[in-house]
A = this chain, B = another copy of it.
Amino acid sequence: MTTISDIARLAGVSKTAVSKVINGHADIGEATRRKIMNIMAELNYRPSVLARGLTLGKSWLIAVCLFPDQAHMSGRAHNLESRFYGPIINSCNDYLSQRDYDLLVLSSNPTTRENAGVWYRDKLQERRVDGYILISHVSQLAALATLNEVQIPRMCLGIKMPGFRSAYIESNNYRGAHQGVQYLHTLGHRRIALIGDTNSSMSGRHRMQGALQAVREYGLTIPDGAITYGDFSRHAGSDAMKSMAEIIRSERVTVVFAFNDYMAFGAIDAAHELGMSVPGDISVMGFDDVELAADFHPALTTIRQNTAVMGEIIGESLIKLIEDSQFEPPEVMVDTTLVIRSSVSPA
């Protein structure tokens, strides 16, 4: 593998001269500059990130730390396959690669899973990672404490964890749910049912608060028993729907608002099984806008989390945190978007 010394020797100059050309310093003659450039191009020379990182104390590495909550794996696996985190990480990577940072995927393996916190901490340290994305859940706060021992900027997703240069980003779940209910009201729905989050996740709570607030504002009615809870999985949505079927009929509920798409899918499954058509007999609204939502039958009306925007903001914020010590770790709220499709019809 070609090194900077090779280039220097072939060009008949010092390593310093080559280094200056590489880094675009001005104090180098045009003639030597061109000569060096040519030789580098000819040999396809690429400076070693390891070596330059060693002196500069940087790795140009951003890690993704996926820290699953075993109990809640069902609806949203915390790995690259996740329908929610996958798109975010992707768009973040697109941004980062434009800024010459690369993405390292840290996913604690089965054997290290017990003390994954330690494993992640060590990895971050060993690799001199410049910043990381922490994807986890409130229930993991204790297990993650060790991460605070290493002082690296981070963006938290799904868990707001205080610490060194620790930023946080989430969708405006409150507003999103509020917006959803408002839309239902606009369509003339007056009696609604909700499917919330069994596990008291931050996002689940905010969606509930936003929805309930809108229900009050617009004077809607939620009959007794028309709020059920699920674990964000499709089955849970189906179960929830079945358990509310009787109330929906007797109380003339016209729409079910599930707090994520998968539970909405499940609710629709159940409706069909129960001989109800969607949205003919009952409308169903989701939350997230996962890929499948558009392809579902009926296509799901839902509240979109803008994953592309989130990914970009994450990348941008991380780089600012890394490169500008004055930059304060932000707490970002990303607006959601109402996506009107066909699972909700006028009341």
Q: Which residues of A contact B (CB under 8 A)?
A: 1, 44, 46-51, 53-54, 59, 79-81, 83, 86-87, 89-90, 93-95, 97-98, 102-112, 122-123, 125-128, 149, 234, 265, 269, 272, 291-292, 295, 297
Q: With A102-B123, A104-B103, A272-B297 known to touch, is A128 a contact of B50 (CB < 8 Å)? A: yes
A128 to B104 CA separation, bound complex (whole angstroms)? 14
Evaluate contact between B80 and A94: CB separation under 8 angstroms.
Answer: no
Assembled-state Cα–Cα distance A79/B128 (Å): 26
Cα-based distance from A127 to B59 in the complex (angstroms): 10
Task: Compute how far the CA of A122 lies from the CA of B1 in the bound complex, rounded to whole angstroms.
Answer: 12
Contact B107 A46 (CB under 8 A): no
Q: Residues of B contacting A95 with CB < 8 Å?
A: 109
Give the oligomeric copy count.
Answer: 2
A182 to chain B, nearest CB (A): 31
CB within 8 Å for A98 and B111 given contacts A48-B128, A126-B47: yes
Q: How far is the CB of A341 from chain B (nearest CB, A)?
A: 15
Pick the contact of A102: B50, B79, B127 (CB < 8 A): B127
Identity of the chain B residue whose Cβ is nearest the Cβ of A262 in the assembled complex: B295
Q: Which of B1, B46, B107 contacts A94 (CB 8 A)?
A: B107
Q: Are the C-beta atoms of B107 and A105 separated by less than 8 Å?
A: no
Q: Which of B44, B50, B87 contacts A81 (CB 8 A)?
A: B87
Q: Is the CB of B122 within 8 A of A46?
A: yes
Question: Is A128's CB under 8 angstroms from B295's CB?
Answer: no
Task: A47 to B50: give the CA distance in the assembly, Å.
Answer: 14
Q: Which of B104, B234, B292 contacts A104 (CB 8 A)?
A: B104
Beta-carbon contact of A90 and B81 below 8 Å: yes
Is B111's CB under 8 angstroms from A107's CB? no
A54 to B54, CA, bound (A): 9
A297 / chain B contacts, CB cutoff of 8 Å: 269, 272
Closest Cβ of chain B: how far from A74's Cβ, in Å? Answer: 12
Residue in A47, A86, A102, A122 whose Cβ sees the most chain B Cβ within 10 Å: A102
Instruction: Determine the residue in chain B with the shortest Cβ distance to A268.
Output: B297
Q: In the complex, which residues of chain B have a beta carbon less than 8 angstroms from the beta carbon of A93?
A: 105, 107, 109
Shortest CB-to-CB span from A111 to chain B, Å, is 6
Complex CA gap A106/B89 in Å reads 12
6 A-B residue pairings within 8 Å (CB atoms) = A1-B128, A49-B128, A50-B128, A81-B87, A81-B90, A102-B106
